[in-house]
Structure 1
């Protein structure tokens, strides 16, 4: 099976959930696998150009949604960029008990609960 290239968009305060998702994909019994293309640290002034290039090279985008996402300008820009580039995108609540206000940029996209089956279905649909 060819691994899909996935961009993970998240608020910096939620980086542990990105780490959990990437770790989960590496488990022997994980029903899904992907190549993580997320931005792990903020770039200098040219980060938007570099980020757009990364997003354009991906098969899909997973947006980690939490109470922090609405206030995360970088994550909101990544969502907007993904839409502009026509990259398939899904939102996923992290953690499911701390939902905040979803940023308007994610509207029109499916939002799922974090589960192996839901992630697998999205990745296999790409």
Structure 2
């Protein structure tokens, strides 16, 4: 089975969580694997065009949800873009014990699960 192309959407303040997730996928005991298509750094003024192209080429978008998400304009735009393009989206809590009280409007209806290998693996299998 080929690796799925997954766009990881995260607030820049949570870049270390994205790095950790990518590292988990590389672990030989990991039950999931994917090709990381996330934006690692902000692009120039054409970033939305570049980002949309990247998202459209993915099988799914995994959104890392933390308290930083509500103020992460880029991340919220990525989620909106994925919805517009009909790409499957799943949210994972960045921190089990430090979840935001309310989700931003852009995440309404998004199913957010705990960051566990099985939760991520099961979602990737549906892509």
TM-score by length of 2: 0.97
Alignment pair present for 1:63 and 2:63: yes
**Which residue of structure 2 lines up, in the alignment, with residue 80 of structure 1?**
80
**Which residue of structure 2 lines up, in the alignment, with residue 49 of structure 1?**
49
Structure 2 unpaired stretches of 5+:
none
> What is the distance in 2 between the residues matched to 1:50 and 1:3?
22
TM-score by length of 1: 0.98
Q: CA deviation at 1:97?
A: 1.3
Q: Secondary structure of 1:58's match? A: coil
**Which residue of structure 1 lines up, in the alignment, with residue 7 of structure 2?**
7
> What is the distance in 1 between the residues matched to 2:105 and 2:62?
16
Q: Secondary structure of 1:96's match? A: coil
Structure 1 unpaired stretches of 5+:
none
**Which residue of structure 1 lines up, in the alignment, with residue 107 of structure 2?**
106
Q: How many pairs are equivalent?
A: 126
Q: Which runs of 4+ in 1 moved over 2 A?
A: none
